[in-house]
């Protein structure tokens, strides 16, 4: 298997006492992809494994067709968008999302899931959540922040999350979208059917309750 950027440099599996980056997943568990063209793929892969599903880095159409759910990770949305087109994944991805594939997008992933973008609306992306989003809305990196945020329907108190050159949802465009959380009056977590979009990075801080929600959506759809 190809090393994911950020993964351990010693590839010997199960080296004595070493924490495994690739614990063996249960064979019967649903297969959930992480779009692996650029960004924090590794963090999402670990998060999925921790919530009991089998992660698969998705780089090709064959990978995409194999999965029961998908994470669109954090990263640079322009770079991921271009890589989607060059890998021939753009149309297949849009089709699978339109067909109801459960999907979780964080930060750049939210941008790719947004039906409208302020200023950058020409950026090729699948869409799927009826929101209007502004890329990099909080300013330069010095404005990136950690914060705790209350998310609707999650037990266990507020989530500890990071906003990193984050996008901001400026408008919700339809009744189909549920706003799960807000910061400063702007939605930062939204859900439309089986699609969840987050302006922040729970995978960076390790609060995996929304990954668990994705896994539940996948299990409900696959019956596994």
Partner 1 sequence: MSAASNGHGPITGSDRVKRGLADMLKGGVIMDVIDPEQARIAEEAGAVAVMALERVPADIRREGGVARMSDPEMIESIVEAVSIPVMAKARIGHMVEAQVLEHLGVDYIDESEVLTPADEANHIDKQPFTVPFVCGATNLGEALRRISEGAAMIRSKGEAGTGNVVEATRHMRAITGGVRRLTQLDPSELHAAAKDLAAPYDLVAEVAELGRLPVVLFTAGGIATPADAAMMMQLGADGVFVGSGIFKSGDPVKRGRAIVEATTHFADPEVVARVSRGLGEAMVGIEIDTIPAEQRYAGRGW
The residues annotated as belonging to the active site are: 107, 201, 203
Q: Is 105 in the site for partner 1 (CB under 8 A)?
A: no
Nearest to 50 by CA among 173, 214, 222: 214
Q: Is 43 in the site for partner 1 (CB under 8 A)?
A: yes
Q: What is the largest CA-CA distance in the chain?
A: 53
The SS3 assignment for 131 reads strand
**99 C-beta neighbours (distance < 10 Å), count:** 7
Candidates 29, 42, 89, 190; binder of partner 1 (CB under 8 A) is: 42
The phi, psi pair for 162, rounded to 5°, reads: -115, 135
**Residue closer to partner 1, measured from CB, 43 or 68:** 43
> Minimal distance in Å, beta carbon 144 to partner 1?
5
Candidates 22, 25, 50, 120; binder of partner 1 (CB under 8 A) is: 120
H/E stretch holding 211? helix 209-222
Nearest to 39 by CA among 1, 7, 80: 80
Q: Is 135 in the site for partner 1 (CB under 8 A)?
A: yes
Q: Which residues contribute to the site for partner 1 (CB under 8 A)?
A: 2-3, 5-10, 15, 18-19, 36-43, 59, 74-76, 78-79, 82-83, 86-87, 107-108, 120, 135-136, 139-150, 158, 160, 162-165, 181-184, 201, 204-205
């Amino acid at each position: 298997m190809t090393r994911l950027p950020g993964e351990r440099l010693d590839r010997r599996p199960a080296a004595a006492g070493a924490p495994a980056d690739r614990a063996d997943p249960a064979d019967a568990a649903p297969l959930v992809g992480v779009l692996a063209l650029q960004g924090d793929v590794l963090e999402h892969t670990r998060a999925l494994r921790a919530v009991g599903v089998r992660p698969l880095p998705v780089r090709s159409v064959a990978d995409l067709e194999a999965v029961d759910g998908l994470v669109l990770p954090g990263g640079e949305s322009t770079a991921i968008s271009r890589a989607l087109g060059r890998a021939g994944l753009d149309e297949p991805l849009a089709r699978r999302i339109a067909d109801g594939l459960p999907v979780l997008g964080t930060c750049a992933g939210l941008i790719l899931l947004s039906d409208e973008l302020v200023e950058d609306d020409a950026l090729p992306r699948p869409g799927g959540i009826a929101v209007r989003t502004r890329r990099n809305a909080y300013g330069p990196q010095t404005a990136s922040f950690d914060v705790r945020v209350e998310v609707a329907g999650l037990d266990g108190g507020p989530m500890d999350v990071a906003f990193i050159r984050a996008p901001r949802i400026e408008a919700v465009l339809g009744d189909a979208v549920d706003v799960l959380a807000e910061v400063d009056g702007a939605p930062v977590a939204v859900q439309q059917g089986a699609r969840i979009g987050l302006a922040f990075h729970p995978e960076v801080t390790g609060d995996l309750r929304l990954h668990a929600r994705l896994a539940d959506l996948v299990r409900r759809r696959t019956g596994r």
